[in-house]
Copies of this chain bind each other. A is one copy, B any other.
Amino acid sequence: MTELLKSTPRTDGFYMPAEWRRHARTWMLWPQRPDNWRLEAGPAQKAFAAVAKAISRFEPLTMGANPRQVRNARSMLPQDVRVVDLPSNDAWMRDCGPTFVVNGQGEVRLVNWRFNAWGGLYQDWSLDEVVPLKVAELEGLDYYNAPLILEGGSIHVDGEGTLLTTEQCLLNKNRNPGLRRAEIEDYLRQYTGVEKILWLGEGVYNDETDGHVDNLTCFLHPGLVALTWTDDHNDPQYPISKDAYDRLKRFTDAKGRSLEVLKIHQPDPVLITAEEAAGVLSVEETRSRNAGDRMAASYINFYFCNGGAVVPTFDDPLDALAIETLQKFLPERKVFGVPGREILLGGGNIHCITQQQPTGQEE
């Protein structure tokens, strides 16, 4: 039922659809590692459960959990969430999970990218690495092995031939040091089916993923891009967002359109508290969490689900503005917030912990 295909999605007529296209289900992983999630991941599990609960009101959701966590996950999740044994090292389904591709004729396959834990943020990624194959087995889908180290959060597509990414991540020497930009572009075309790659520079300030695009900017629909923003010229985020804005305004997409850019004001700086830092088990080979460090908080790290959009909130007056602005430009869906701080403490946010499995159907 599950076959490794030696061709590429592009040659077989498959492509990665936009995230807003209809989903068959959302995939998530249950957090548990005490050297990344404080207090043995208890608060993070509550935060993930709230995200899962929110999404499961809109579409089916499968939560993969490590064997020892399955009962715990089951007890903390709504009954209509499917909980399956799916061992992982950490819990970032966006990044270690598969990218699903479709052919417009009802078929769905998946791309199994190579993975190295964001250039080695922790040392053992042997379980994360095989998550896509386990998803393929569970769903009975054929798959492609892409010869490129890539996390799902480092690319966004508009579903009409355009891909957004950042130089900071995809050209980072800790990912694919042997590959030049043109070779990486060629792999992206082969494995996502896009025509045109738009390169931004850096990602959000202090983003430990080396600047994943999904925290900085995303498509709202073809031709319209949302960008995290600040008007404070003294904020280290300012030059990053400004550069991204300038590039976006210069780009045209695969269809020749200029891009509209919607600025979404970032929350006020979110710093790790001493209490939060103290709750993380210190392990030498894992990135440390230090009190006072600024986290890469961004509303852009939201997730489309069928009929909805789930936006991380930070107990910040700007939360409401972000939701309101996105709602205005996404009138056909319900935009709403779910607290994101505990997820951010682990190094990402709602988009990073979810992965959409599209239906094969055209809409």
A interface residues (Cβ-Cβ under 8 A, vs B): 1-3, 60, 67, 70-71, 74, 79-87, 130, 134, 137-138, 140
Contacts and interface: CB of A to CB of B under 8 A. Distances in A.
Leading 3 A-B pairs by shortest Cβ distance: A85-B85, A67-B87, A1-B80
A85 B3 contact: no
Contacts of A83: 137
A243 to B, nearest CB: 44
B79 A2 contact: yes
A2 B137 contact: no
A307 to B, nearest CB: 18
Contacts of A79: 1-3
A312 to B, nearest CB: 26
Contacts of A134: 70, 84-85
B1 A60 contact: yes
Given A67-B67, A87-B67, A137 B82 contact: yes
A82 B130 CA distance: 15
Q: How many identical subunits does the complex contain?
A: 2
Contacts of A70: 134
Contacts of A3: 79
Given A67-B67, A138-B138, A2 B82 contact: yes
Given A1-B60, A60-B1, A67-B67, A85 B82 contact: no
A87 B86 CA distance: 10
Provide the main secondary structure of the chain A interface: mixed
A293 to B, nearest CB: 34
A134 B86 CA distance: 12
A3 B74 CA distance: 12
Given A1-B60, A60-B1, A140 B82 contact: yes
A86 to B, nearest CB: 6
A71 B127 CA distance: 11
Nearest to A139: B82
Nearest to A142: B79
Given A2-B79, A3-B79, A60-B1, A137 B67 contact: no
- Among A2, A81, A86, the most chain B Cβ lie within 10 Å of the Cβ of A2
A144 to B, nearest CB: 15
A3 B134 CA distance: 24
A134 B138 CA distance: 13
A70 B134 CA distance: 9
A83 B138 CA distance: 8
A86 B83 CA distance: 12
Nearest to A61: B1
A309 B3 CA distance: 27
Nearest to A87: B67
A217 to B, nearest CB: 34
A65 to B, nearest CB: 10
B85 A84 contact: yes
A223 to B, nearest CB: 37
B84 A138 contact: yes
B137 A1 contact: no
Contacts of A1: 60, 79-82
Contacts of A82: 1-2, 137-138, 140
A287 B233 CA distance: 74
Contacts of A80: 1-2
B60 A85 contact: no
